[in-house]
Structure 1
Amino acid sequence: MSKHIVITGTSRGIGFELVKLFAKQGHQVLALSRNDIPVKALKLKNVTAFCFDLGDAEAYLKVEEHIKEHWAYVDVLINNAGMVLNKPFAKTTVSDFEEVYRTNVFGVAELTRLLIPYMVKNSHVVTMSSMGGVQGSMKFAGLAAYSSSKAAVITLTELLAEEYKESGISFNVLALGAVQTEMLEEAFPGYKAPITPEEIADYIVDFSLKGQKFFNGKLLQVSNSTP
């Protein structure tokens, strides 16, 4: 049965692969990214791509209008868009923190808030976090803004699951280990991750369609490395 799927951060990496996989399965996809050209170039009839900036209030209205006019409801929201900053803490300014949090936390909260009224029983909100945001996990110097923002959305997910527990909507968060994306390469040039975007996207698609049957308000650590 075809589902209505909203995905952020779809111009490259994991988000781009998610669009292709969901479309191949016959689902209706709304792909949101600051650069909509890569998804539009795919020319998939069941995919709509918007140029969308999580920091632009007008962009949210466009999303809501599309859902009202064409869908009426949303089955899955995948908060995938993210920004990484690798910078010594001593040089990380308030503006740096604000920029990272605007995408990784505030944007996640606002889009989720906007779409909850259009969600139905068994709808699923899946937010991408990072192992760096998990309490007690290994931490890396230079990622104060990034990892703390990823910790914030873990707690946000737990709170939303509690607040909406009578609605039938599920909220879960995936803390990913290193994935070989362009964003990782930009932050850590030369580092080679053990997982490809295609591999992790395959897992996320399956989890977003079925995970709400088994989890709500849960953090799942999706990493094959230790600790």
Structure 2
Amino acid sequence: MKHVVITGTSRGMGFEMVKLFSEAGHDVIALSRKPESLQALGLKNVQVFACDITKEEELQKIGDHIEGTWKKVDILINNAGAILNKSFAEATLSEFKAIYNTNVFGVAGLIKQLLPFLDSNSHVINISSMGGVQGSMKFPGLSAYSSSKGALITLTEMLAEEYKENGPSFNVLALGAVQTEMLAEAFPGYQAPVSALEMAKYIVDFSLNGHKYYNGKLLQVSNSTP
């Protein structure tokens, strides 16, 4: 049985991952700004918290809760993400910063809060995008999103290097098109070849086993463009 923390669990892949971990008997803390959909399911071994990862005080509450209960985190999946589909010229600086606050700074903030509970057997998985991979195909309107996902890739590599002696493993998955609400925002009308549940199954399996083979690695999980 693992102790698992997942962000971005109100819908899509995060929602499906929580159900998969619960079915397998693992303990889960599910974080999202809109927890109602998961709370309504009453899943076994699942604690659902309303949490905006861009707010330091809310992350502190999660850290305090874990310190008072689990005292250990085996798996952290940073799945929460924000997207902006707007040309660079039209996007305001505030909108640009908001994307980075969720996709980069919020991730860094949660990792910092949970570091005391992560050990050499723990696994941190950051969910990035093919749009953030250097040399991959890029799309107009996604400058904030794709550049933030590129920053997340480098952050993962740096953390793996910093904690390689006795800390957790850090890996990043750059996902291609998955049929989620976020994809629909970026590419209206596009039908992805992979469902949210299918990708959730892959991520769950990787979180449980990937750190045995990888650390500080970017894995491109895509069979399509986008």
TM-score category of the 2 structures, normalised to the smaller one: over 0.9
Normalised TM-score (structure 2):
0.98
Q: Which residue of 2 aligns with 1:218?
A: 217
Q: C-alpha offsets along residues 110-135 of structure 1, whole Å, 9 cap, x if unaligned? A: 10111111112210000000000000
Q: Which residue of 2 aligns with 1:69?
A: 68
Point out where structure 1 has 5 or more consecutive residues left out of the alignment.
none
Offset of residue 50 of structure 1: 0.4
**What is the distance in 2 between the residues matched to 1:187 and 1:50?**
27
Structure 2 counterparts to residues 115-194 of structure 1, below 5 A = 115-194=114-193
Identity percentage of aligned residues: 65
**What is the distance in 1 between the residues matched to 2:35 and 2:13?**
15
Point out where structure 2 has 5 or more consecutive residues left out of the alignment.
none
Offset of residue 226 of structure 1: 5.8
Structure 2 counterparts to residues 46-85 of structure 1, below 5 A = 46-85=45-84
Q: 1:76 to 1:196 in 2, by over 3 A?
A: same
* Corresponding residue pairs, total: 226
Offset of residue 225 of structure 1: 2.1
Offset of residue 45 of structure 1: 2.6
Offset of residue 187 of structure 1: 2.8
Letter in 2 for 1:152: A
**What is the distance in 2 between the residues matched to 1:47 and 1:186?**
29
Normalised TM-score (structure 1):
0.97
2:175·2:222 contact (CA, 8 Å) conserved in 1? Answer: yes
**What is the distance in 1 between the residues matched to 2:129 and 2:44?**
32
Q: Which deviates more from structure 2 when the two are superposed, residues 177-186 or residues 157-166?
A: 177-186
2:79·2:127 contact (CA, 8 Å) conserved in 1? Answer: yes
Q: C-alpha offsets along residues 11-55 of structure 1, whole Å, 9 cap, x if unaligned? A: 000000000000000000000000010111110130000000012
Letter in 2 for 1:127: N
Letter in 1 for 2:68: E
Letter in 2 for 1:208: S
Structure 2 counterparts to residues 109-120 of structure 1, below 5 A = 109-120=108-119
Letter in 2 for 1:166: E
Q: Which residue of 1 aligns with 2:88?
A: 89
* Other structure's SS at 2:69 match: helix
**What is the distance in 2 between the residues matched to 1:209 and 1:104?**
23
Q: Which residue of 2 aligns with 1:27?
A: 26
* Other structure's SS at 1:90 match: coil
Q: How big is the alpha-carbon RMSD for the aligned residues of Structure 1 and Structure 2? A: 1.1
